[in-house]
């Protein structure tokens, strides 16, 4: 048995754990960036092509294919909201014990 506090009660872990998870998940999100194609006749129409790394050439043969930056930043926002919520839940849990 250890005499120190459990890992979940460590104040530093409460901040560092979810922050590291957010950073790692943000980096992994670049492997699955959303791609879209703008309609050649109407710039307001967009078609989702799928997910691929930004350095890939998976959609090179499709005219007008590009990264859907708006969807990518929405994905990042979801990752960071979940990471911040996890940090807050760990903090509340540690303060009640």
Average pLDDT, the chain: 81
pTM > 0.75: yes or no: no
Place of tokens 């540690």: 94
Lowest-pLDDT choice from 8-12, 50-54, 55-59, 65-69: 8-12
Say yes or no to pLDDT of 70 above 70.
Answer: yes
Helix (H, G, I), strand (E, B) or coil at 58: coil
Structure tokens given for 91: 């903090």
Helix 69-96 vs helix 11-29: crossing angle, to nearest 10: 160
Work out the pLDDT band at 36, boundaries 50, 70, 90. very high
Phi, psi angle pair for 70, to nearest 5°: -60, -50
Average pLDDT for residues 39-53, to the nearest whole number? Answer: 87
Q: What residue segments make up the domains of the chain, in order of their start?
A: 7-96
Q: What pLDDT is attached to residue 1? A: 47
Query: What percent of the chain clears pLDDT 70, i.e. is strictly above it?
Result: 80
């Amino acid at each position: 048995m250890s005499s120190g506090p459990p890992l979940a009660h460590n104040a530093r872990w409460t901040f560092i754990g979810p922050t590291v998870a957010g950073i790692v998940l943000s980096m992994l999100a670049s492997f699955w960036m959303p791609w879209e194609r703008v309609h050649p006749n109407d710039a307001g129409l967009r078609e989702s092509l799928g997910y691929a790394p930004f350095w890939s050439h998976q959609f090179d043969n499709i005219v007008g294919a590009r990264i859907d930056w708006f969807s990518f930043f929405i994905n990042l926002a979801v990752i960071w909201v979940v990471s911040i919520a996890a940090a807050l839940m760990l903090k509340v849990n540690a303060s009640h014990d």
